[in-house]
């Protein structure tokens, strides 16, 4: 390991101008070749030439640079300090039985403040306030210290709290809450830590009838100040105050449940203890609420909402410190989401597959559209009403030993291929986000299900979709190494960006095409430090791998990149966010928080077994010092490749790992075919190579003859089905960089050689 300091982060404007000039010169040269070829070819709707493909790729890169230059760099400086500066209020029952807990708070408040400040890299302001309450007949019934950063003042205020008084079982909890609301809340992260062993007045907040009979004010609103919990909680929520109850005994169970319902009504992240007597009712209540949240924005979903949580304190006074720190850091991550997120439909778990779960929404919400709710009928003839003839770009699925390093070094090292497709889609979308809608779709020659995503109005152009494509391609390059080193099998889907082909079906908008994800959708973390703690039981390993993957990308890139927003169906992930040290990288995505994103990730990250297996050494303390340690060497990776289908690109293994089962190897092992040398195929794509072979009459010169061709293979390379046999095809008709690991021209030559050697015109392509 080597100790290093932060390196330069900016890309000089003159370098950008120089690169744009070089791209422009190269594009002009390709344009001249293209114009000559256009005069020679018979049918402009046939496969584009390699010269035309190069010209389009150069033009796209030029457009992406222009769009990046026109997009101002997002100002993220000070974001972490802003969202993590915290107002923390201790709300404490100070009646007779509470003295030990008062003493514990006084003894631990100094270390609590110290650890919060260290968790926030000594950047954020932390203020504390204290409200102590007894009952109505006690004097004083309320004791109060307003917010202050001075821990000595806070400790002194807690020391002044004397546990005495109390008559009937309930206490003046509502009076304490009212006083808490009248403190000088200022910072964006706001928390109330409530320590209590008795419920409020009012039978609706008490567990049993015997307790209600020992209440001097049993009717809601009958207490001396006419307070009700509904009104007070409404004010707390309006002030964005997170709430944690540190439970001492069961007497507060009904209160916790009723308070929770108020927070759940505004989509807060609510957790009640399993030992709470009302936990079954709470679980049913939350399930109903979550079913109604789908389709709302992420600002109102659990990842960006307020936090309501009940913790078990009991008589374990030492737990107070840990519980307070956990609540504050959790609340800060939610604040970060609210301050950085824009509307989308992503939520923690969605039973409706996709549900625009993989649609990244980065602008204000627009009007809803009508959606179809019938299940997809992929194999029903005529079910897809629209046919789109499109062309565009897809990422090159070729990956070599230096691919990841090259992509990290320069954004232009991202390899793009041109693509021509015929797509069949539904007319009515099945899901929507704030900005886009999603349609069930199939391509003309594949049996695989897809999703077409289309902007509702005035959407973005190809450069913006290509930025998403480039983002997911970099994540896939990271995943190839991560899988080989960790033994895990995570993957990122391939995104293709498209527009209507001249003379096609009249599609004017840009669209994206992605594989359809079948199964329950889960979001493991987001780009603002939120971590999903409600992972379904069967996905614990995937969740652990997802958190380790984010850490791995930071370590492997030596602090230049950090991939977050890990989400998808099981191991198949989509729509990541990439934080970069260089503020000029991934500017168009809208989710790049730069180094502030690094801080937010490490605020909540806890290394797990996968992190340790990978030997990751970077940690949050390095962000405070500005000096970093990283793993020095990474072994060469040759065991994983990508499926050669450009619309698939699934990561597959060249050979089994460890004691892999035959089923595991069948699902994740690479397939080969002598018909297509240099290609690797996943278990889903491989059978379609053979099943799509047809005989066609060659349109080339000479005597009439037939040849065999795999329609799926050509579609998988972004090409139309050829009309001529191999002997009559020109290399200029080959798209650049089509096949994983080798240029398709080389594949074509090998196939031609085999054809000549065997003297069979029916050799499959």
Q: What is the pLDDT of residues 313-362, one digit of tens each?
A: 876 677 889 999 999 999 999 999 888 865 433 333 344 444 434 444 54
Query: Going by C-beta distance under 8 Å and a sequence separation of 6 or more, which residues neighbour residue 648?
Result: 448, 494, 515, 682, 684, 685, 716
Task: Please report whether residue 706 resides in a domain.
Answer: yes
**Domain total in the chain:** 3
Task: Please report whether residue 38 resides in a domain.
Answer: no
Task: Please report whether residue 181 resides in a domain.
Answer: yes
Q: What is the pLDDT of residues 55-106, one digit of tens each?
A: 999 999 999 989 888 888 777 889 999 999 999 999 999 998 899 999 999 9
* Rounded distance between C-alpha atoms, residue 599 and residue 82, angstroms: 12
- Does the structure show a pLDDT above 80 at 377? yes
Region of poorest pLDDT, from 94-103, 182-191, 372-381, 650-659: 650-659
- Does the structure show a pLDDT above 90 at 171? yes
Average pLDDT of 585-592?
88
Region of poorest pLDDT, from 84-93, 207-216, 445-454: 207-216
- Does the structure show a pLDDT above 70 at 256? yes
Determine whether 78 is exposed, middle or buried from the number of CB atoms within 10 Å of its CB (0-12, 13-18, 19+). exposed
- Which tokens sit at 535? 């992972």
Q: What is the chain's mean pLDDT, rounded? A: 84
* Rounded distance between C-alpha atoms, residue 4 and residue 250, angstroms: 53
- Which tokens sit at 620? 């949050």
| Residue 329 shares a structural domain with residue 470 | no
Where is the domain boundary, 316, 340, 364? 340
| Residue 414 shares a structural domain with residue 276 | no
| Residue 294 shares a structural domain with residue 203 | yes
| Residue 612 shares a structural domain with residue 707 | no
Average pLDDT of 130-154?
95
Task: Please report whether residue 48 resides in a domain.
Answer: no
Q: Tell me what pLDDT residue 597 has.
A: 96
Query: Going by C-beta distance under 8 Å and a sequence separation of 6 or more, which residues neighbour residue 390?
Result: 420, 421, 422, 423, 498, 499, 500, 501, 504, 507, 511
Half-sphere exposure of 148 (CA within 13 A, CB side): 14
Q: CA 397 → CA 108, 393, 466, distances in Å?
A: 55, 12, 15
Percent over 70 (pLDDT), the chain: 80
pTM of the model: 0.83
* Rounded distance between C-alpha atoms, residue 521 and residue 358, angstroms: 9
Average pLDDT of 38-53?
63
- Does the structure show a pLDDT above 70 at 40? no
Residue 682: domain span: 665-758
Task: Please report whether residue 466 resides in a domain.
Answer: yes
Q: What is the pLDDT of residues 604-663, one digit of tens each?
A: 999 999 999 999 999 999 998 888 999 999 988 777 889 999 999 999 988 665 555 554
Task: Please report whether residue 523 resides in a domain.
Answer: yes
Q: Tell me what pLDDT residue 39 has.
A: 42
- Does the structure show a pLDDT above 50 at 125? yes
Q: Are 91 and 82 in contact (CB under 8 A)?
A: no
Where is the domain boundary, 630, 651, 676? 630
Q: Are 504 and 390 in contact (CB under 8 A)?
A: yes
Identify the H or E element spanning 131: strand 126-133
| Residue 84 shares a structural domain with residue 107 | yes
| Residue 490 shares a structural domain with residue 380 | yes
Half-sphere exposure of 734 (CA within 13 A, CB side): 17
Task: Please report whether residue 194 resides in a domain.
Answer: yes
Average pLDDT of 687-702?
93
Q: CA angle, 623 as apex, 240 and 73 as ends, to 5°?
A: 70
**Residue among 278, 274, 272 nearest 254 (CA):** 278
| Residue 569 shares a structural domain with residue 626 | yes
| Residue 336 shares a structural domain with residue 359 | no
Where is the domain boundary, 340, 370, 389? 340
761 vs 307: which has the higher pLDDT: 307
Q: Are 576 and 563 in contact (CB under 8 A)?
A: yes
- Which tokens sit at 360? 């990244």
Task: Please report whether residue 8 resides in a domain.
Answer: no
| Residue 594 shares a structural domain with residue 621 | yes
CATH number of the domain bearing residue 98: 3.40.50.410
- Characterize the bridge pairing of strands 189-196 and 86-93: parallel
- Characterize the bridge pairing of strands 450-455 and 521-523: unpaired
- Does the structure show a pLDDT above 90 at 156? yes
Q: CA 262 → CA 268, 291, 582, 655, distances in Å?
A: 9, 17, 43, 54
Q: Tell me what pLDDT residue 31 has.
A: 56
Q: What is the DSSP string of 732-749?
A: GGSPTT-BTTB-HHHHHH
CATH number of the domain bearing residue 434: 3.20.200.10
Query: Going by C-beta distance under 8 Å and a sequence separation of 6 or more, which residues neighbour residue 289?
Result: 264, 265, 267
Helix intervals (H) in 239-318: 253-264, 279-293
Average pLDDT of 747-762?
47
Q: Are 238 and 262 in contact (CB under 8 A)?
A: no
Q: How confident is the model at residue 497 (pLDDT cuts 50, 70, 90)?
A: very high
Q: Are 445 and 431 in contact (CB under 8 A)?
A: no
| Residue 690 shares a structural domain with residue 616 | no
* Rounded distance between C-alpha atoms, residue 42 and residue 263, angstroms: 67
Q: CA angle, 314 as apex, 308 and 315 as ends, to 5°?
A: 145
Percent over 90 (pLDDT), the chain: 59
- Does the structure show a pLDDT above 60 at 753? no
| Residue 285 shares a structural domain with residue 159 | yes
| Residue 293 shares a structural domain with residue 390 | no
**Residue among 100, 73, 91, 165 nearest 129 (CA):** 91
Q: Is 559 left (phi over 0), alpha (psi -120 to 50) or beta?
A: left
Q: Are 113 and 127 in contact (CB under 8 A)?
A: no
**Eight-class DSSP state of 681:** B
């Amino acid at each position: 390991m080597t100790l290093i300091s932060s390196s330069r982060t900016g890309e000089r404007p003159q370098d950008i101008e120089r690169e744009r000039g070089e791209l422009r010169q190269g594009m002009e040269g390709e344009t001249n070749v293209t114009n000559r070829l256009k005069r020679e070819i018979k049918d402009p709707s046939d496969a584009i030439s390699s010269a035309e493909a190069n010209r389009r790729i150069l033009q796209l890169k030029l457009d992406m640079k222009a769009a990046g230059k026109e997009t101002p760099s997002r100002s993220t400086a000070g974001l972490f300090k802003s969202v993590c500066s915290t107002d923390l209020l201790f709300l404490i029952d100070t009646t007779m039985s509470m003295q030990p807990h008062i003493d514990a708070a006084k003894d631990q408040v100094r270390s609590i403040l110290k650890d919060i400040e260290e968790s926030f890299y000594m950047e954020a302001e932390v203020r504390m306030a204290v409200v102590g309450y007894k009952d109505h007949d006690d004097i004083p019934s309320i004791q109060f210290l307003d917010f202050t950063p001075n821990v000595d003042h806070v400790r002194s205020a807690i020391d002044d709290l004397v546990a005495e008084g109390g008559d009937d079982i309930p206490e003046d909890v509502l009076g304490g809450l009212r006083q808490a609301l009248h403190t000088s809340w200022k910072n964006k992260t706001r928390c109330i830590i409530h320590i209590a062993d008795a419920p409020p007045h009012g039978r609706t907040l008490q567990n049993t009838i015997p307790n209600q009979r020992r209440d001097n004010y049993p009717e809601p609103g009958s207490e001396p100040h006419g307070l009700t919990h509904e009104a007070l909680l409404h004010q707390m929520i309006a002030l964005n105050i997170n709430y944690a109850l540190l439970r001492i005994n069961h007497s507060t169970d009904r209160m916790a449940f009723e308070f929770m319902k108020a927070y759940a009504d505004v989509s807060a992240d609510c957790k009640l203890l399993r030992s709470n007597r009302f936990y079954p009712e709470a679980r049913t209540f939350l399930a109903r609420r979550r079913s109604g949240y789908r389709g709302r924005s992420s600002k109102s979903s659990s990842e960006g909402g307020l936090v309501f949580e009940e913790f078990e304190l009991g008589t374990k006074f030492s737990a107070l410190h840990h519980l307070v720190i956990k609540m504050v850091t959790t609340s800060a991550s939610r604040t970060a989401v609210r301050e950085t997120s824009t509307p989308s439909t992503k939520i923690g778990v969605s039973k409706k597959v996709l549900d625009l779960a993989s649609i990244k929404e980065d602008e204000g919400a627009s009007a809803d559209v009508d959606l179809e709710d019938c299940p997809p009928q992929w194999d029903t003839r005529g079910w897809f009403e629209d046919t789109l003839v499109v062309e565009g770009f897809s990422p090159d699925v070729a990956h070599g030993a230096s691919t990841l390093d090259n992509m990290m070094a320069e954004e232009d090292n991202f390899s793009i291929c041109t693509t021509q497709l015929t797509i069949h889609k539904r007319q009515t979308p099945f899901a929507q986000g704030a900005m886009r809608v999603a349609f069930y779709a199939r391509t003309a020659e594949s049996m695989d299900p897809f999703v077409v995503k289309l902007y509702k109005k005035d959407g973005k152009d190809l450069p913006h979709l290509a930025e998403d494509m480039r983002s997911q391609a970099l994540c896939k390059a990271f995943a190839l190494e991560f899988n080989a080193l960790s033994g895990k099998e995570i993957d990122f889907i391939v995104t293709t960006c498209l527009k209507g082909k001249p003379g096609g079906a009249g599609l004017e908008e840009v669209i994206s095409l992605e594989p359809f994800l079948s199964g329950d959708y889960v979001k493991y973390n987001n780009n603002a430090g939120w971590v999903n703690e409600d992972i379904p039981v069967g996905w614990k390993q995937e969740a652990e791998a997802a958190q380790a993957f984010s850490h791995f990308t930071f370590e492997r890139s030596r602090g230049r990149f950090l991939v977050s927003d890990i989400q998808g169906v099981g191991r198949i992930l989509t729509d990541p966010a990439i934080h970069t040290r260089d503020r000029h990288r991934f500017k168009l995505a809208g989710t790049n928080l730069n180094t502030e994103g690094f801080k937010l990730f490490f605020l909540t990250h806890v290394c797990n077994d996968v992190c340790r297996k990978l030997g990751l050494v970077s940690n949050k303390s390095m962000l405070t010092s500005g000096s970093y340690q990283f793993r020095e060497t990474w072994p060469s990776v040759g065991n994983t490749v990508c499926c050669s289908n450009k619309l698939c690109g699934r990561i597959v293994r060249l050979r089994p790992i460890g004691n892999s089962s035959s089923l595991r190897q069948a699902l994740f092992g690479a397939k080969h075919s002598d018909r297509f040398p240099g290609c690797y195929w996943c278990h889903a794509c491989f059978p379609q190579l053979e099943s799509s072979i047809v005989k066609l009459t060659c349109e080339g010169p000479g005597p009439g003859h037939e040849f065999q061709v795999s329609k799926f293979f050509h579609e998988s390379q972004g090409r139309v089905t050829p009309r001529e046999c191999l002997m009559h095809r020109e290399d200029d008709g080959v798209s650049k960089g089509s096949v994983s690991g080798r240029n398709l021209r080389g594949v074509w030559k090998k196939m031609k050689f085999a054809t000549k050697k065997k003297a069979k015109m029916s050799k499959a392509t």
